[in-house]
Chains A and B, each alone.
Chain A
Amino acid sequence: MTMETEKKMIEVQNVRFVYPHNNEEENVIALDGVDFHINKGEFVGIIGHNGSGKSTLAKLFNAIIFPTQGDVWVNGFNTKDQEHLWDIRQTAGMVFQNPDNQLVATIVEDDVAFGPENLGVPPLEIRTRVDQALAIVEMQAYAHQKPHQLSGGQKQRIAIAGILAMEPECIIFDEPTAMLDPSGRREVMTTIRKLNQDKNMTVIHITHYMSEIIGADRIIVLDKGKIVMEGTPETIFKNVQALKKIGLDVPPMTELAYELRNEGINIRDNILSIDEMVEALCQ
């Protein structure tokens, strides 16, 4: 392994993915010629409209599905390599959209233990991992509760703890906030940011809420199975018109700045937060 690949957490090489259909003409091309990589410790946001191929991409990272053409590499392992299937899934954990349909056990701590149990970790070590994981997501107090008694945001944090207990290097979030109320969404986003900043975890956050990835290191915009934009949040969000064209909303302050500029007011076009807006307006 060269230095180059060691730095890369995930590498997607010219991937095409087709959902086959009985009638070949009706095959659905979910991804077409997608090519990018994600570095270790990075927080990358992937946004796109429904059907842009973003969830397909998530499943490719975790070797749940395999590219029709091209390759996906996770931590130097090709996802097509069946021998390293479990290494890949252990390295790149995945949190799904529906909090109810990813909790397996009837008790919170048993659910967090599910992953390490599957990996064959010794019982005493599972215990410490479970306690640590619950502490990170701040759910220790709920260790003995039943999942169906928790709120959506809490369930999703338990799902995150379940992945953390497997000690992954990278976590892929596939629209983890789509089914949550605003407060649940805040809880989950705080946890995700904490993982990236304090635990130096590589985070791939797939969403259609722009506001959730303002703090990302890099954003990849998908549309109809292709990467249409890639860059820092500032460079991406200032393309207000292009984003609106593919059915995406820009953060409210960026949109306000855009409208103000249209009205002839001289203001920066890369404003993301309210604070930045205040600063820019009061100059």
Chain B
Amino acid sequence: MLKDVTIGQFYPTGSIIHKLDPRTKILLTTAFVVILFFINNLWGYLAAFLLLGVIILMSKIPVGYILRGIKGLVLIILLTVILNLFMTPGAVIASFGPVNITLEGVKIAVFMALRLIFLVIGTSIMTLTTAPIDLTDGMEWCMKFIPFVRRFAHELAMMMSIALRFIPTLMEETDRIMKAQKARGANFETGNIISRAKNLIPILVPLFISAFRRADELATAMEARCYRGGENRTRMKQLIFARRDVVAFVVMFLMIAGFLATTIINIPLLFPL
């Protein structure tokens, strides 16, 4: 049951996208997400669609696998579409009793839906093509450029990587505790939501206690191995920008320029949006 969690899953195929430096991918994904919110015409979205398509093909990850990520968001997307469709004031094109659909409403609803879908696909490509630990290293580097966060960059990255290290361990432990409680007659399968939630207490309490004990032991072990924060610390694996990263940056800058151009120059559209 717990093994189905797909957030931040890594799908190794060894493609050129996978081999890009994690920092490149983080920066480009951020740029892509920001740009998404500036696009205000269909040409821009078409370009974003093509860009994502090319990257997905290059990453060699099955399209269906990526689209599965959107499944969980269908409800949010639908809600956004419906709200925008009916709540936007403007030229009425259809009305159902008290609610009206406006031309502006249609336009915003379509844009919002596309934005959300592209956003999810864009970010999941990043997590699917980057090993979690590389992602953490990349984030540590990126955080060094953000004021305030800079001071905690190393600590935050260390926390993330320890969390990643212990997710499988704690999952195994949860499984073990569940079996132990089941053996004593606990019931996790029947009953309404409230009683099911209540039944989780005998799992959560021992799990938390053991997690705290692990944290304490790990902290001692880390100190015994001379851990003293990020100062003067070196890394065995250095992140190195390769030629392919430079290429990726150039391509991306061209794309950004292209997107911005579509928002500034009004390219005639096929239909009046």
Contacts and interface: CB of A to CB of B under 8 A. Distances in A.
A62 B226 CA distance: 10
Contact of A98 (B132, B164, B217, B223): B217
Contacts of A105: 133, 161, 165
B211 to A, nearest CB: 11
Contacts, number: 96
A103 interface: yes
User: Which residue of A98, A100, A147 has the most chain B CB atoms within 10 A of its CB atom?
Assistant: A100
- Which range contains the number of A residues in contact with the other chain? 35 or more
- Which range contains the number of B residues in contact with the other chain? 20 to 34
A75 interface: no
B169 interface: yes
A126 B165 CA distance: 21
B233 A118 contact: yes
Nearest to A58: B224
B246 interface: no
B21 to A, nearest CB: 16
Interface stretch (A35-43, A109-117, A238-246): A109-117
A106 interface: yes
A110 B237 contact: yes
Contacts of B161: 104-106
Say whether chain B's binding surface is mostly helix, strand, loop, or mixed: helix
Nearest to A61: B224
B228 interface: yes
Interface stretch (A22-30, A88-96, A220-228, A269-277): A88-96
A93 B223 CA distance: 11
B172 A148 contact: yes
A148 B227 contact: no
A148 B162 CA distance: 13
B222 interface: yes
Contact of A118 (B169, B217, B226): B226
A247 interface: no
Interface of A: 59, 62, 64, 86, 89-90, 93-94, 96, 98, 100-107, 109-110, 113-123, 126-127, 130, 146-148, 162-163, 166
Across the A-B interface, the 7 shortest Cβ-Cβ residue pairs: A102-B221, A101-B217, A113-B236, A126-B236, A148-B168, A118-B226, A115-B225
